[in-house]
Amino acid sequence: MLPGDPVFVYVDDDLTSREVMHLLLVEALGYRTLTMFEDSIDFLAKLAALPAQPDVIFLDIQVKPLNGFAMLKLLRDHAAYQSTTVIAVTASVMNEEVDLLKAAGFDGVIAKPLRLRTFADIIHRILEHEKIWFIA
């Protein structure tokens, strides 16, 4: 990891989704630091064990055993992660669900499937601390 490189974490139990995130962030966009968790077991302990604090955490909403909402609450209740950017990643995104995600305290949402043509701009905006509610 080079100084100034953003640190990303992605939590998703779907292997294909994790592979797509790696393809987009690392291979297509050239980011160097992406850690992926295949479940939410010991979520905070896994984060604490990382060599650097994440800049952006992507949470699948349907991951088990703790879903994205439960993981977000853990993050917001923990002093070290209260201001960390947390983005929901989900295949089920309608306007009502966006309202729930906003109310819960997410910093944005990205709809699955992730697409290369829009992903670079979305990541740039997230790193600029813009709220992203990308459901199209």
Instruction: For residue range 92-108, list pLDDT tens digits in order.
Output: 777 788 899 999 999 99
For residue 33, the domain's CATH number is 3.40.50.2300
Cβ atoms 15, 39 nearer than 8 A: no
* 88 within some domain: yes
**Beta-carbon contacts of residue 75 (< 8 Å; ≥ 6 apart):** 44, 57, 81, 82, 84, 86
* 3 within some domain: no
C-alpha closest to that of 56 among 30, 24, 88: 88
- The predicted structure's pLDDT at residue 80: 95
- Indicate if the pLDDT at residue 122 is higher than 80: yes
Instruction: For residue range 72-87, list pLDDT tens digits in order.
Output: 999 999 999 999 999 9
* 116 within some domain: yes
Q: How many domains are there within the chain?
A: 1
Instruction: For residue range 30-71, list pLDDT tens digits in order.
Output: 999 999 999 999 999 999 999 999 999 999 999 999 999 999
- The predicted structure's pLDDT at residue 96: 81
- Indicate if the pLDDT at residue 1 is higher than 70: no
* 85 within some domain: yes
Q: Which domain holds residue 75?
A: 8-134
C-alpha closest to that of 14 among 56, 68, 69, 70: 68
Q: How far is CA 31 from CA 26, 35, 59, in A?
A: 5, 11, 18
Q: In this structure, what token pair is assigned to residue 104?
A: 């819960």
Longest CA–CA span in the chain (Å) reads 40
Instruction: For residue range 5-28, list pLDDT tens digits in order.
Output: 999 999 999 999 999 999 999 999
* 56 within some domain: yes
* 94 within some domain: yes
Cβ atoms 86, 72 nearer than 8 A: yes
- The pair phi, psi for residue 47, each rounded to 5°, is -65, -45
